[in-house]
Copies of this chain bind each other. A is one copy, B any other.
């Protein structure tokens, strides 16, 4: 009666966890990653992590097993299931859309960060290419909007808008830099013909 609800919408934190679980980890390990590395934008609170892990396990995307080592603290190691890996891969390699850009850089860069180990360098290049396309259109649209701003707008309002434009341009430059890096690597491996 309903359309098949194959994908039961996973929040961003869920995908971050899936990506990190390429290396089997406990909830505590994951919390430490979020609190100590540059993924600080995600919550490291137990009230966020543990329920999220439980949900992912219920969906069959990860599987936890309590470690039984002599003289060790109780510790549950989670690892990706094949289904979880496939879900992660699907999320990562979906081409970048304008919507993705509106929801923010963070998630896009996270997808890219996981891309090489999950789907290989070729997929990373494809992801960057779709990102470049989307960004070029978006930057152009932002410039148009900047032109159309009411001249009565106070200085700080216009400057704030310019900040958004610059930040997007910077993201585009990084995308090109990343593409160039992959190209260089490719040439190295093929022996710079």
Q: Report A's interface with B, CB cutoff 8 A.
A: 38, 40-41, 102-105, 109-110, 112-117, 121, 124, 142, 145, 154-157, 159-164, 166-167, 170-171, 173-174, 177-178, 181-182, 185
Give the residue of B41, B112, B116, B170 whose beta carbon is less than 8 angstroms from that of A104.
B41
Contact at B121–A155, with CB atoms within 8 Å? yes
For A156, what are the chain B residues with a Cβ–Cβ distance below 8 Å? 112-117, 121, 124
For A109, what are the chain B residues with a Cβ–Cβ distance below 8 Å? 160, 163-164
Contacts A41-B104, A102-B40 given; does A163 touch B157 at CB 8 Å = no
Assembly stoichiometry (copies): 2
Contact at B157–A116, with CB atoms within 8 Å? yes
For A163, what are the chain B residues with a Cβ–Cβ distance below 8 Å? 105, 109, 112, 171, 174, 178
CA distance A155 to B128 in the complex (A): 13
Instruction: Determine the residue in chain B with the shortest Cβ distance to A182.
Output: B155
For A103, what are the chain B residues with a Cβ–Cβ distance below 8 Å? 41
